[in-house]
Structures are given as C-alpha cells and as structure tokens.
Structure 1
Amino acid sequence: MFGKRGKRGRHHVSKDSGRLGVPNYDVDEVVEEAVVTAGPFDEADAPQDGLSRLDLGSVRVPVPDGAQLQVEVDPSGPVRAVHLVTPIGQITVSAYAAPRSGDLWPEICEELVSQLRGDGARVIKEAGEWGTELAATANNVVLRFVGVDGPRWMLRGVVAGPGEHNVMASDLLRNVIRGTVVVRGDSAQPVRTPLPVELPPAIAQHIQAQQQG
C-alpha cells in the first residue's frame, strides 16, 4: 500500500506484476536472471516478448520482482517521477525529448559530471553497453547513471544504493533499461523536455485518496 511520506507514496508490486529477474539478496553467488530482449525500444519497435511492463505513459518499464513503487508528485499535481525501490537500490527511469540527430546523452553526461563533482561527489566515467556510464559516490551512497539516445528521445536511468550492492544494483538497472519501451509521441517538444509521466488509473486514484485523507 502507499504510505504517507510528504508528496511521495509507495506501492508494493507483486511478483506477478513483472517477470524481470532480480538477484537473491541473501547470498553472494551469481543468480540467473530472466532473459530480457535487448533494448530499450521505441514504441514503433516494441517487442511482443510477453514481458509485463508498468505503463507510465512515456515509458513502459519492467518491474523487478518484489519492488515497490515510490511516486513523487509536484504540489500542482503532475507526477514528477516514479521510482522502483528494491532491497539493493532505488531505480529511476526517465525519458526526454531529443533532437533527431541524437547525441543528447553525451551532453547531459558532461553536465552531470560537473554537477556531481560540484556537490562533492567522486565521479568516474566508464564505458558501458550504450556508451558512457557514470559511477558516483557521495555521502556513503553509490549512484550509477546510464543514458541511451533513441529516435527523438533520450532515456536516462539511475540507481542509488549502498556501496556493497553496487555491482548487483548496476546490473539490475541495465536489465530494466534493456526491457524499457519509450513512447515519444508525435507532438513537437523542446529538446531536453521531460516526457510526461502518467500513472495507471488504480495507482493514481489510490494516491489521490491518500492525499485527500
């Protein structure tokens, strides 16, 4: 259920809500995960792979087994972000309008490096599956940023969690991104504009009821 936490709420996602495998958090051995077709995908190329995805309007995201949803809502009403909270880290996947030429992530990546270092974080650039990834450490929290340039969109994923789960959390983030579908839409959008996040009706109604209560 959602719990009151300022303008945030949490909702438990049952195992049947998605079939994306997650590590066994109680052991150190490598655990085999569910196979996810390599993405992320544009809506026009979305696979019929049977993978259950949470429809958030601009993104359709596979949810790790046992994850909770944490929703951030602006005071004016729109949803700011939806986080997937797992025992090893919190994952956030967001889509943005991008130019037809692509190449937005390299720009955003450099800006993130400057911002994070300006805040006192230690930042390392690493070569990843889709290009540069950022690993940052600040206040005993490890963050991993992954960006993917698509057709007129850019997808950014970040996971934040304790250092001891860094490798597992990073792998889980990549697996979520591989299974994500981006719904860009046909409307003109200024570059870097966040694509709108919309909640499924049942979750939106629950949040509204919690706020009114």
Structure 2
Amino acid sequence: MPFGHRRNRIDRSLRERGVPPEPQQREREELATDGPWDQADAPADGLPRVDLGALRVPALKGTELRVDVNQQQQVVGATLRAGESLLQLSVFAAPRAGGLWDEIRVELAKSASGQGASLTEVEGPFGTELAGTVLVQQPAQPGQPPAKPVRRPARFLGVDGPRWFLRGMISGPAAAPGEDARLLEEAFRAVVVVRGSGPMPVRDPLPLTLPPQAAEQLARRQAAGPRPPGGPARPAGPGSAG
C-alpha cells in the first residue's frame, strides 16, 4: 500500500488529542505521497539511481554521491554533495504502525541541546522537521591535537515508511530555504527504500552495500594500505545529532 509523508503531521495531532486515526483517513493521506518511495511504489520515472542495497539514491545533475563506511569497511550511510551543501542519508527498521519520526525528533533535539547546539521543530516540504545547528567534529591534522567541534547549520528530515524510517540531514547553505535547498530536497524526495521482508529489530540500520565497481575500488585501496586518519563522524543511530 502506498504511504504518505504527510501522515506524520496528521497522526501526531490525533495522538495528542487521544483520538486514533480513522482507517479511511489514513489510507487517503497515504495515497498522497510524492516521495521518498517504498520499493513497491517506486515510480517509473526513468531517473538513474545508484543501488546501495536498502537505498537507491538518485543520480541528479549537480550532485555527487559519496558512500560512507565505518572502520570495519561496512557501508553505514550515503552522502550527496551539491556545492558546499551535504545531504546525509540513513535508513532504519521501523514498526508497522510508524510514528518513529515523532520519537526521534525529541531525541535529536535533546542530543543537540546537550552538545551546546540547538534544533527546533518547523514545518517543511516533508512535514515536521528539525532546523537549527549541530556540532560537527573536524578532521584531526597529523601531529596536532584533536580539533574542537564547530557549530554548523543543519536540517533533519524524516519519513516513516512501511516498516522503515528514512532520515536525511542537510548541512551547509542548503540548511536554509532557497535554491541551494531545492536540489537536495529533490534528491531526498526521489530516494527509494528497499526494506526487504525479513524481521529486524526496530531502529537497526537497514543493510547497505556498495555497487560492484565501488566495491572493487575499495578492495584495491585496502590492498594498498590504510587511509590517513580523519573524515566526518557518522551519527551512531537515528536519534543522534552528531
């Protein structure tokens, strides 16, 4: 069944009043989606997408895709760059009933506040989102002590899909409304999530993989020796702001 990102706002309002949503109303809103997409409802739009397993990331003109790996060389996320702005994508298992974004917004705001930054709820093109600042760890320079984190503008987008939750963090100039934001918003809207049918604990990251060519390049780099230290820190989970 198709889903709708506007469901976040409606369900939240109903829960606050203690009223469960009408099944007919939920289905009507779910049919209103225009992305991001579940695999079952992905449009035949001819848009090229990079297959990363649980994520199919659009290859839009003006964007550059970087796949993020951890120290164990496991894929943990994907980042789209557009100019000086970034869109970091993460996808997680979620309950059938949805509503995970409501919980995660609270956790993200608390996490940012505890680090000396600030995130507040605003209404955006994907429903309720968070906007403000987060702390970003700077790469360490060889022979120098670790650099202090810096405060950066950021937006967090969230969509509850069928048993999955997609989170996007936009940083840089696109964290403010305008032309810079529109390209990365378009990219987020065109993402397709491949959840799979197997059971998974709620909030566990959905498995991501490298395309064959990228996997071969990574294998060659590993054979050549370790990379120099540094690089952006990845959030530990869906409710981590930095």
Give the TM interval when normalised to the shorter protein: 0.7 to 0.9
Q: How far did residue 100 of structure 1 move?
A: 0.5
TM-score, with structure 2 as normaliser: 0.67
Q: How far did residue 157 of structure 1 move?
A: 0.8
Q: How far did residue 131 of structure 1 move?
A: 2.3
2:172 aligns to what? 161
What percent identity do the matched residue pairs reach?
A: 45
**Cα pair 1:141 1:162 within 8 Å, conserved:** no
Query: Within 2, Cα distance between the matches of 1:209 and 1:68?
Result: 21
Q: How far did residue 77 of structure 1 move?
A: 2.7
Q: Structure 2: state its 5+ residue gaps.
A: 1-32, 135-149, 225-242
2:133 aligns to what? 137
2:162 aligns to what? 151
Mapping for residues 13-92 of structure 1, pairs under 5 Å = 38-92=34-88
Deviations 1:82-134 (A, max 9, x none): 21122131111221110000000010111000001111112221012332111
The Cα RMSD (Å) is: 2.0
**Cα pair 2:85 2:172 within 8 Å, conserved:** yes
Cα gap change, 1:127/1:182 in structure 2, threshold over 3 Å: closer, same or farther? same
1:188 aligns to what? 199
Query: Within 2, Cα distance between the matches of 1:163 and 1:101?
Result: 31
Deviations 1:36-55 (A, max 9, x none): x9211111111111111111
**Cα pair 2:81 2:87 within 8 Å, conserved:** yes
**Cα pair 2:117 2:151 within 8 Å, conserved:** no
2:188 aligns to what? 177
**Cα pair 1:88 1:165 within 8 Å, conserved:** no
Residue type at the aligned position of 1:206: Q
Query: Which deviates the most, 198-207 or 133-142?
Result: 133-142
TM-score, with structure 1 as normaliser: 0.76
**Cα pair 1:71 1:83 within 8 Å, conserved:** yes
**Cα pair 1:157 1:173 within 8 Å, conserved:** no
Query: Within 2, Cα distance between the matches of 1:65 and 1:50?
Result: 14
Q: Which of structures 1 and 2 has the bigger CA Rg?
A: 2
Query: Within 2, Cα distance between the matches of 1:46 and 1:91?
Result: 21
Query: Within 1, Cα distance between the matches of 2:213 and 2:189?
Result: 26
Deviations 1:11-49 (A, max 9, x none): xxxxxxxxxxxxxxxxxxxxxxxxxx9211111111111
Query: Within 1, Cα distance between the matches of 2:118 and 2:219?
Result: 39
Q: Secondary structure at the match of 1:65?
A: coil
Q: Secondary structure at the match of 2:109?
A: helix
Q: How far did residue 81 of structure 1 move?
A: 1.8
Q: How far did residue 163 of structure 1 move?
A: 7.5
2:102 aligns to what? 106
Cα gap change, 1:146/1:169 in structure 2, threshold over 3 Å: closer, same or farther? farther
